[in-house]
Amino acid sequence: MKDEISREERVAGLKGLGCSRKRVEDARFTQGKGNYVDDIKLPGMLHGDFVRSPYAHARIKSINIDAAMALPGVTAVLTAKDLEPLGLHWMPTLAGDKQMVLADGKVLFQGQEVAFVVASDRYVAADAVELVEVDYEELEVIVDPFKSLQSDVVLREDLVADDGSIPNGAHGPRKHPNHIFTWEAGEEEATNQVIDNAAVVAEAEMYYHRTHPCPLETCGSVASMDKVNGKLTLWGTFQAPHVVRTVASLLSGIEEHNIRVVSPDIGGGFGNKVGVYPGYICSIVASIVTGVPVKWVEDRMENLMSTAFARDYWMKGKISATKEGKITGLHCHVTADHGAFDACADPTKFPAGFMNICTGSYDIPVAYLGVDGVYTNKAPGGVSYRCSFRVTEAVYFIERMIEVLAIELNMDPAELRSINFIKKEQFPYTAALGWEYDSGDYQTAWDKALKAVDYKGLRAEQAERVEAFKRGETRKVMGIGLSFFTEIVGAGPVKNCDILGMGMFDSCEIRIHPTGSAVARLGTISQGQGHATTFAQILATEIGLSAESITIEEGDTDTAPYGLGTYGSRSTPVAGAAAAMAGRKIRAKAQMIAAYLLEVHDNDVEFDVDRFVVKGVPERFKTMKEIAYAAYNQAIPGLEPGLEAVSYYDPPNMTYPFGAYVCVMDIDVDTGVPEIRRFYALDDCGTRINPMVIEGQIHGGLTEALAVALGQEIAYDDMGNVKTATLMDFFLPTAWEVPNYETDFTVTPSPHHPIGAKGVGESPHVGGVPCFSNAVQDAFRPFGNRHTNMPHDHWRIWQTANNLGMHD
Ligand code: PCD
């Protein structure tokens, strides 16, 4: 039989790897047909709302619920006392600490959950919240982590023994009642020696301020306890539904098969929805107590005040180099403000995430990192927000250190980077702080970026502008922000990455139907990334069925195979690999079926796009559709019927995407307003599954980077009041502030990933923040600036100019 369609057409028909396939999920999102937690409405469902503390630190003397209970429509008001008999007044955090579900004796941050009101509707619940009378005795508030370590005020009384001694925490000895852990990597003595004897040393102290992921949809859950059948169903905004099921089982004692956790559509996660929040627990308890479903959905202020924050790292660095600019050593100390409970979502062995990738993209022979975690009267959480487990902090740190060293050396920062890049032939490269970088070609990417923006031309223009400014001809200065980042994503090998003891593999299960369409389920969960589109593309190329005929399902623990979820840009590196491996198992069976149908030996057929062909006889073939049909309808000797496969994938290493970013900015020194003239972003995420989705990821991540660098923050006053808990004060960029991004790429496949893909979701944020910040700082470099802290909002930029005497 002669095939009418060309091979190219067959490849295109698959809409597989490398195709800018339109996102299949957008049909429902753009028509308002998504199904989010708040869309779930069950018969008889009640609504919960929290009484929250107005104080950052206070003892609770009494709680009176009488008036609230008297309000028509109120069913229950839960306090810690009600949860205590169930052992649920405290819950374990992902970081090995524990956290109050409802205030137990005291409150430790503004907005902390004190009581949970359950009522017939959300409005009645909110009214009842106002009627709960809580008698507080204010205590001294500590919002500064350095003061916290000196203070006599003990924040966590539960973590001090009766004799006053300080028991070890989850990560070893603690130096002070308000100290959480010390975590170290590298060699301190050797590093100090190198730095002490170096020709050039640059030092900097920088604060990576506290901010918040602020997804469009806030966090929420609906719990439904079916007492007759003993089944608990929990819908929620979960980035890791299987982990939630396991934790819910361990906490409640309900057997895991009797719990079904469902993450429906999620309106953005950005790390905000990895942790476990009191609202989830309270909705479960309330459903058990009342016997009907209970919904809890937080509002915007609650989201900003009480759910996982991001950053809050005080970083102190020293970097040494030869006179020629070859870096010889790096020392970094971090004081990490974790708030009232250590609820960071990190792999267990990494209490400061992957901060020990702070040597960046550079070949630095010796380095040391020390991190001290500290309790303060702020909201718990941490690590979330497009950061790849603190890689954003690490990259910000090293990319600022490079700039400061360039100032010290009086050298061009682009050239300083070139001198120190890990070279292509050095991969796999083991860094001084322990990571083995799988692959990279930094110089090629850097050269491409610098050429694309005409870097030399920009520098010449900048020099002219400085002169013009000094002559009084302009009030605008020009900054060229550079950043070169290396990411580490795809946690992770089970041998060193787990969350609460659960190894961080991921999974894919695929079932081909007789007519040659398929359903595949994965242990991850999209929050907007487009997995339904892109995972189908991986499978299409692997098994030769069109992506259009493959349904992707995630997020229902009753159907999806166990997986660790979506965060840390791990879905492509881990679940994407599982998908490819499951696809290959399908193909292996299909090969045997094809050989049988074609009456040749297994080895005499080969895979070709969407079919198996007899080697050397291309006109003799069986398409995957024909093979699928045969799998269900023919008795094939030695083979079971059906065509299904499952893969649980434990990656041998993480993947190391990288990128080169350049930002050109003009700043009006009298208003402090920056104008982004150009933003060029080159990303290398290895094999590209869907270029359009990648581009969308980069636009989104850069916009969040712009936000963080130029204004977004969760700020506290000395009394622990959150000053930025509404969108009036918390900066969310709009089309007004966002520039036109120019995207570009190189492709350096991961050598160990089955299709060579690396993650990309967090890269633009990780690389973008230092790039925007460096642009601001670079504009002021000719006028004496070394380092100023983010966020560079108009007021702070104005101040920078003022401090440099530019308003005189
Ligand atoms: N890709 C492609 N290719 C490659 C890579 C990748 O295509 N090479 C694509 C995929 O498929 C998807 C995406 O892209 O779709 C992404 O991916 P990844 O990188 O793997 O990642 P994932 O895991 O999926 O995701 C995650 C991320 C994160 S992490 C974050 S923050 C953010 C990002 O993602 N988030 C979000 N992005 C996004 N988007 C949206 N829309 N939303 C959201 O939410 Mo974390 O940790 O959580 O903090």
Instruction: Give the torsion sign (CA, 269, 750, 581, 612).
Output: positive
Alpha-carbon span 63 to 60, nearest angstrom? 8
What is the pLDDT, as a whole number, of residue 660? 99
532 token code pair: 């339904």
Residue 207 Cα to ligand 1 middle (Å): 27
Asked if residue 238 has its Cβ within 6 Å of ligand 1, the reply is no
Alpha-carbon span 103 to 87, nearest angstrom? 14
E strand intervals along 492-593: 498-499, 502-503, 506-512, 518-522, 550-554
What mean pLDDT do residues 42-47 have? 98
What is the pLDDT, as a whole number, of residue 2? 53
Alpha-carbon span 692 to 713, nearest angstrom? 30
Atom number in ligand 1 closest to CA 759: 19
Alpha-carbon span 202 to 189, nearest angstrom? 18
Asked if residue 273 has its Cβ within 6 Å of ligand 1, the reply is no
Examine the residue annotation and report whether 282 is marked as an active-site residue of this protein.
no
Query: Which residue matches tokens 């000797």?
Result: 637
Instruction: Give the torsion sign (CA, 546, 551, 557, 559).
Output: negative
Asked if residue 686 has its Cβ within 6 Å of ligand 1, the reply is yes
**Predicted TM-score of the model (pTM):** 0.98
| Beta-bridge partner residues of 666 | 478, 675
What mean pLDDT do residues 542-546 have? 98
Q: What is the pLDDT of residues 99-108, one digit of tens each?
A: 999 999 999 9
What mean pLDDT do residues 568-578 have? 98
What is the pLDDT, as a whole number, of residue 443? 98
Alpha-carbon span 455 to 562, nearest angstrom? 48
Residue 568 Cα to ligand 1 middle (Å): 8
DSSP 283: H
Instruction: Read off the amino acid at residue 91.
Output: M
Asked if residue 386 has its Cβ within 6 Å of ligand 1, the reply is yes
Asked if residue 583 has its Cβ within 6 Å of ligand 1, the reply is no
Residue 217 Cα to ligand 1 middle (Å): 17
Atom number in ligand 1 closest to CA 535: 11
Burial class (CB within 10 angstroms; exposed 0-12, middle 13-18, buried 19+) of 729: middle
Asked if residue 353 has its Cβ within 6 Å of ligand 1, the reply is no
Examine the residue annotation and report whether 459 is marked as an active-site residue of this protein.
no
Q: What is the pLDDT of residues 469-503, one digit of tens each?
A: 999 999 999 999 999 999 999 998 999 999 988 99
% of the chain beyond a pLDDT of 70: 100
What is the pLDDT, as a whole number, of residue 758? 98
What is the pLDDT, as a whole number, of residue 740? 96
Degrees to nearest 5, angle at CA 596 with 591 and 601: 75
What is the pLDDT, as a whole number, of residue 4? 77
What is the pLDDT, as a whole number, of residue 384? 86
What is the pLDDT, as a whole number, of residue 347? 94
Asked if residue 538 has its Cβ within 6 Å of ligand 1, the reply is no
- CA–CA distance from 110 to each of 70, 179, 725 (Å)? 27, 20, 11
Alpha-carbon span 454 to 642, nearest angstrom? 58
Residue 566 Cα to ligand 1 middle (Å): 8
Kindly name the residue from 112, 239, 462, 697 that is annotated as catalytic: 239
pLDDT band at 127 (very low <50, low <70, confident <90, very high): very high
Alpha-carbon span 449 to 462, nearest angstrom? 18
Residue 763 Cα to ligand 1 middle (Å): 9
DSSP 172: B
* Nearest alpha-carbon partner for 316 in 370, 254, 261: 370
Residue 743 Cα to ligand 1 middle (Å): 17
Domains along the chain with CATH numbers:
7-34+506-649 (3.30.365.10), 37-139+218-266+273-306 (3.90.1170.50), 391-490+654-803 (3.30.365.10)
Q: What is the pLDDT of residues 607-645, one digit of tens each?
A: 999 999 999 999 999 999 999 999 999 999 999 999 999
What is the pLDDT, as a whole number, of residue 738? 96
ipTM above 0.90, yes or no: yes
Instruction: Read off the amino acid at residue 669.
Output: V
End-to-end Cα distance, the chain = 85
Residue nearest to ligand 1 atom 35, measured at CA: 270
45 token code pair: 């469902």
Residue nearest to ligand 1 atom 36, measured at CA: 270
Residue nearest to ligand 1 atom 17, measured at CA: 761
DSSP 615: T
Q: Does residue 304 register a pLDDT over 70?
A: yes
Q: For a pocket test of ligand 1, which of 212, 550, 572 has the largest count of ligand atoms closer than 8 A to its C-beta?
A: 572
% of the chain beyond a pLDDT of 90: 98
65 token code pair: 């619920």
Examine the residue annotation and report whether 762 is marked as an active-site residue of this protein.
yes
What mean pLDDT do residues 670-695 have? 98
Residue 534 Cα to ligand 1 middle (Å): 11
Residue nearest to ligand 1 atom 24, measured at CA: 571
Kindly name the residue from 386, 390, 400, 465 that is annotated as catalytic: 386
Q: Measured over all CA atoms, what is the biggest interatomic distance in the chain, rounded to whole angstroms?
A: 90
What mean pLDDT do residues 161-183 have? 97
Q: Do residues 388 and 572 touch, judged by C-beta distance below 8 A?
A: no
Asked if residue 263 has its Cβ within 6 Å of ligand 1, the reply is no
Asked if residue 390 has its Cβ within 6 Å of ligand 1, the reply is no
Q: Do residues 774 and 664 touch, judged by C-beta distance below 8 A?
A: no
pLDDT band at 383 (very low <50, low <70, confident <90, very high): confident
Residue nearest to ligand 1 atom 16, measured at CA: 761
Q: For a pocket test of ligand 1, which of 15, 272, 506, 569 has the largest count of ligand atoms closer than 8 A to its C-beta?
A: 569
Asked if residue 99 has its Cβ within 6 Å of ligand 1, the reply is no
Burial class (CB within 10 angstroms; exposed 0-12, middle 13-18, buried 19+) of 651: buried
Instruction: Read off the amino acid at residue 55.
Output: Y
Degrees to nearest 5, angle at CA 762 with 758 and 764: 100
Asked if residue 567 has its Cβ within 6 Å of ligand 1, the reply is yes
320 token code pair: 């040494």
**β-strands 220-226, 231-236: how paired?**
antiparallel
Q: Does residue 1 register a pLDDT over 80?
A: no
Q: For a pocket test of ligand 1, which of 697, 753, 765, 769 has the largest count of ligand atoms closer than 8 A to its C-beta?
A: 697
Contacting residues for 317 by C-beta, under 8 A, at least 6 apart:
203, 204, 205, 206, 330, 331, 332, 333, 397, 400, 401
Residue 213 Cα to ligand 1 middle (Å): 14
Atom number in ligand 1 closest to CA 537: 11
* Nearest alpha-carbon partner for 778 in 291, 407, 498, 341: 407
What is the pLDDT, as a whole number, of residue 296? 98
Residue nearest to ligand 1 atom 47, measured at CA: 271
Examine the residue annotation and report whether 387 is marked as an active-site residue of this protein.
yes
Asked if residue 694 has its Cβ within 6 Å of ligand 1, the reply is yes
Cβ neighbours around 609 below 10 Å, total: 18
Asked if residue 697 has its Cβ within 6 Å of ligand 1, the reply is yes
Q: Does residue 3 register a pLDDT over 80?
A: no
SS3 529: coil
Residue nearest to ligand 1 atom 39, measured at CA: 529
Q: Does residue 122 register a pLDDT over 90?
A: yes
Atom number in ligand 1 closest to CA 570: 23
